[in-house]
């Protein structure tokens, strides 16, 4: 099958879904690979490196879409790309379907086979690790006086105290942020709803961090004394409440910093609105907010290398074994199947957009087999089933 690697066109996106290493591996498996010109340029992979790996360089996205049966990129499909999709094409990218109904409709209308990459990671996405680590550094930059922050140095100076930081969420993103901030000398409190997660983190850091159960009451009590908050919570979509309200933000000292790495509309933070690398910060209630939706794009080389390595096994399994067999062998890939030839196969999207759906194992005809298990990607549930 012809494989197409697209150049991402989302504003501020500098990553590429496959480096020349992955391209060479796919070609070794017998699949011709087409790479759009300049797809990896900003990530440090010029066209010559792809050509040397054996790729065919395509001048335009249109050539990729018209030539390739399997297409991959990093971020969501933009409206300009919808009409380029072809029936029965396999597409793999971060669709974020529950939050993008128009994109979902386009995938259904075009009858493609679509995988949403963010649900396919068994050990957490490298992009989450990148967002947590780089987000922590962006928060420190936002703390600088010249950026509107209160001007505290992370570990303090002789006679001057360091920063107190609250990390909301102890998952992959929160743990990545913690590793950076703790290494730089900040005093960190991690809030999470799992006592097991908190106990593990305390043991890992030898009791040199604070932990607390994540509740609005606990967060409210702590906010006036912290210098920086990092929101790393995977907030349930459709939850109309806030973990951090505007009033709570107002209680923080002027020049404090909030970094919303989770970046959810109607998410955990009431004062959130999305920003870009070109204009990354705004001030609400005297607090500097850093809410860039694509933090990993700032370290495009490292994130491209890590991310491409993590998704290559999925690519190879789909291409070498077929969609049904690949989904039977890997439950995380199966749960990431979003659309299949006109049928919605993503439970969270069904629940939040009130669309009927069919389970991937049913539409693929593998429900009677012993399947690799995987937990649901989110807490959203839907019984709005399509009868096949």
Kindly list the catalytic residues: 96, 264
Q: How far apart are CA 374 and CA 120, in angstroms?
A: 10
Sign of CA dihedral 169, 171, 174, 180: positive
> Pairing between strand 3-5 and 70-72?
parallel
Q: How far is CA 10 from the centre of its chain?
A: 14
Q: What does 271-337 look like in DSSP terms, one character per residue?
A: T---BBTTB-EEEETTEEEE-BTTGGGGGHHHHHHHHHHHHHHHHHHHHHH-HHHHHHH-HHHHHHE
Q: What is the DSSP string of 12-65?
A: T----S--HHHHHHHHHTT--EEEETTTTGGGT--HHHHHHHTPEEESSHHHHH
Residue 300 CA neighbour count, 13 Å, CB half: 20
Determine whether 217 is exposed, middle or buried from the number of CB atoms within 10 Å of its CB (0-12, 13-18, 19+): exposed
Can you tell me the distance from the alpha carbon of 367 to that of 364, in angstroms, rounded to the nearest whole number? 8
Distance CA 115, CA 72 (A): 10
Partners of 4 in the beta sheet? 34, 71
Using CA atoms, how far apart are residues 242 and 317, in angstroms rounded to an integer? 40
């Amino acid at each position: 099958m012809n494989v197409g690697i697209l150049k991402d066109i989302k504003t501020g996106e500098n990553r590429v879904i496959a480096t020349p290493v992955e391209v060479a591996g796919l070609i070794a498996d017998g699949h011709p690979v087409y790479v759009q010109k300049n797809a990896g340029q900003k990530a440090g992979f010029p066209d010559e490196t792809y050509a040397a790996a054996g790729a065919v360089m395509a001048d335009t996205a249109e050539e990729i879409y018209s030539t390739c049966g399997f297409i991959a990129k990093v971020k969501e499909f933009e409206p300009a790309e919808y009409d380029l999709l072809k029936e029965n094409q396999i597409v793999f990218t971060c669709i974020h379907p529950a939050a993008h109904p128009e994109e979902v409709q386009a995938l259904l209308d075009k009858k493609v086979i679509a995988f949403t990459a963010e649900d396919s990671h068994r050990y957490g996405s490298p992009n989450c690790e990148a967002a947590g680590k780089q987000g922590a550094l962006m928060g420190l930059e936002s703390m600088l006086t010249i950026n509107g922050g209160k001007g505290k140095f992370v570990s303090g100076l002789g006679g001057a105290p360091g920063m107190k930081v609250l990390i909301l969420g102890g998952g992959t993103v929160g743990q990545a942020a913690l590793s950076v901030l703790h290494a730089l000398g900040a005093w960190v409190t991690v809030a999470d709803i799992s006592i097991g997660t908190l106990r593990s983190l305390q043991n890992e850091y030898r009791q040199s961090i604070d932990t607390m159960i994540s509740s609005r009451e606990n967060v409210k009590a702590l906010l006036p004394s912290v210098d920086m908050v990092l929101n790393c919570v995977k907030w349930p979509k459709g939850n109309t409440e806030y973990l951090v309200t505007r009033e709570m933000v107002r209680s923080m000292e002027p020049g404090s910093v909030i970094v919303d790495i989770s970046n959810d509309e109607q998410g955990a933070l009431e004062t959130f609105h999305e920003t870009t690398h070109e204009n990354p910060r705004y001030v609400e209630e005297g607090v500097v907010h850093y809410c860039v939706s694509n933090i990993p794009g700032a370290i495009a080389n490292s994130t491209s290398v890590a991310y491409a390595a993590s998704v290559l096994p999925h690519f190879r399994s789909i291409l070498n074994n077929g969609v049904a067999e690949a989904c039977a062998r890997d439950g995380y890939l199966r749960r990431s199947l979003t659309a299949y030839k006109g049928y919605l196969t993503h439970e969270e999207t069904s629940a939040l957009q009130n669309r009927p759906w069919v389970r991937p194992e049913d539409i693929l005809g593998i429900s009677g087999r012993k399947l690799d298990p995987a937990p649901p990607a989110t807490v959203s549930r839907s019984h709005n089933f399509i009868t096949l």
